[in-house]
Amino acid sequence: MPWPSPQTLLIDADDTLWENNIYFERAIGNFISFLNHQHYTPQQVRDVLFAVEKENILQHGYGTHSFAHSLVATFERLSLEPVTAELHQKIHSFAHTIASHPVEIIGGVPETLRYLSARHRLILVTKGNIVEQTGKLERSGLKNHFVATEVVMEKDAAIYAAIAQKYELEASVTWMVGNSPRSDINPALAAGLNAVFVPHSETWALEHAQICTEGACGTLLEVERFSDLQRHF
C-alpha cells in the first residue's frame, strides 16, 4: 500500500538519478595503465589513491577538481618520475573526461520522477561542487520535477536537520532517497527522518558503510531500483 500523499522526498543525484562513479572508475583504470607501476599492483595503486582521496576531500571537497588533485598526488607518491607540466596536463585529462561526459540517466528515473512529482514534494539533495552538480541537473532534463535543490559540502545528520528546518519538513513524512549508506541513509535516519535505500552496484568505495538503524526513529525502506518507488509512494 503506497504511503499517503503528500510526502516529502529528498532525492540524491549521483548514482541515484544518473550514472557517476562508473566514469571515475574508468578514469582510474586509465590512470593506473598510464602509471604502469613496476612494483605496485593495480589494487595497491588503488589503495594509495583511496587514501589520498580521503585526505583531499577535507581540503578540496568532492568532484572532478578534487579527483584531479588526488590523481596528481598519487602519481607523485608512486612515481620516481617528476610531474612535469606535460605529465600534469595528461593526468588532469583523466578527470576532465568525466566532467565533459554526457549525463546518463539511470533506467526508469524520468517516468518515476514524473509520477512522484505529481503526488509528492521532491527536493534534490546532493553533495559536491555546486557548479558541477547544478550543471548536471540542468543537462539531465530532470530539474522541473524538483521544487528546490540543495548542493552541500557533506551529508551528515546536522545537514539533514538543517534542511528539515529550512523547508519546515515534518520528519514522519520526509524521506531521504539514495544509494549511499554513509551519506544518504545513516545520517538521515540519525536526524530522525525516514530513508529509502536504492542500491547501486558501482557505489563509490568511500560511500560504503553498514546501514545502521539502531536508535533511529524513522522508517527504513529498501528497494531494488529507483522505479520501485512508484509502488510505495
Cβ neighbours of residue 220 closer than 8 Å, sequence gap 6 or more? 185, 189, 194, 195, 196, 197, 211, 213
Residue pair 11/179 in contact (Cβ under 8 Å)? The answer is no
- The mean per-residue pLDDT over the stretch 107-123 comes to 97
Radius of gyration of the chain (CA): 19
**38 & 139 share domain:** no
Residue with cell 574508468: 26
165: pLDDT strictly greater than 90: yes
Find the CATH number of the domain harbouring 157: 3.40.50.1000
Residue with cell 500500500: 1
**196 & 176 share domain:** yes
- Global pTM? 0.88
Q: Is residue 29 part of a domain?
A: yes
Per residue in 122-143, pLDDT tens?
Answer: 999 999 889 999 999 999 999 9
- The mean per-residue pLDDT over the stretch 49-68 comes to 86
Q: Is residue 1 part of a domain?
A: no
Q: Indicate the residue among 78, 99, 120 that finishes a domain.
A: 99
- The mean per-residue pLDDT over the stretch 13-34 comes to 92
Q: Is residue 84 part of a domain?
A: yes
Query: pLDDT category, 114, cuts 50, 70, 90?
Result: very high
Structural domain containing residue 142 = 8-18+104-232
Find the CATH number of the domain harbouring 47: 1.10.150.240
Q: Is residue 56 part of a domain?
A: yes
Q: Indicate the residue among 99, 115, 145 that finishes a domain.
A: 99
**92 & 109 share domain:** no
Q: Is residue 3 part of a domain?
A: no
Per residue in 183-227, pLDDT tens?
Answer: 999 999 999 999 999 999 888 766 777 787 666 678 999 999 999
Query: pLDDT category, 230, cuts 50, 70, 90?
Result: very high
pLDDT higher at 93 or 185: 185
**14 & 25 share domain:** no
Q: Is residue 151 part of a domain?
A: yes
